[in-house]
Structure 1
């Protein structure tokens, strides 16, 4: 999500069986990626393509968005390749999301939804971290709204 990441495990009837959310900071979220794109002066929609062109992802050690931004600015000053920095950002964010997913003991198939699912580099990093392919629908960014509309129609 934009301000948080969630892992939701649904039972066979589509009911929430388990749920985890990073509610303490924005690391691993769409907002985190927005801040990093701005620091790198790269269009948010191009982050995925840049990331996939990396040859050696940079190591982002800070999990805090503010501190990670400082790390990125230092990397830019050291003239690290933007592609490598972005791949490192994706790996850092994927690590945070994978923690949530593993906390609820996810099982395949797994679908990634939300605007961040449109970022090919982020999807790739999360797949690598989890060890399997994710399902990303054409309407990934609209999934939450569609789900809310379906629930509201049942009231």
Structure 2
């Protein structure tokens, strides 16, 4: 006779946009409540899912997720009102597109490079130029500042893409 282990899903207490999906060998970290959707990455399993702590040293990124993330940003960034407004401050340069692991203390403060998902070119009138999103290869989903957190509008687009 064999034992059957019930697998379950909970919200991650330290980042409420995320869900933890229990598995036999690892815990999937996801923006989706559905454990079958593409996950952000994974951490080793724990006997108590509520005690899982996502740390950079234990977190394994899912490259498929990163591809979807960047495609979603590249497609939707130009119509996201929060970025449209912010672009005015980056006339004639590249605007960093940061996640929200760290909330910036003042206007025009650039996110640290590991928290910058990519860059968009802004013209001299303060308008993002479509098709100019460039991926930041040094971006990490999970680092000493925490795990990825997205603006709500971008999260909605991402959930549709997953």
TM-score (norm 2): 0.25
Larger Rg: 2
TM-score, normalising length from structure 1? 0.26
Higher-RCO chain (CA-CA 8 Å, sequence separation at least 6): 1
- Structure holding more helix per residue: 1
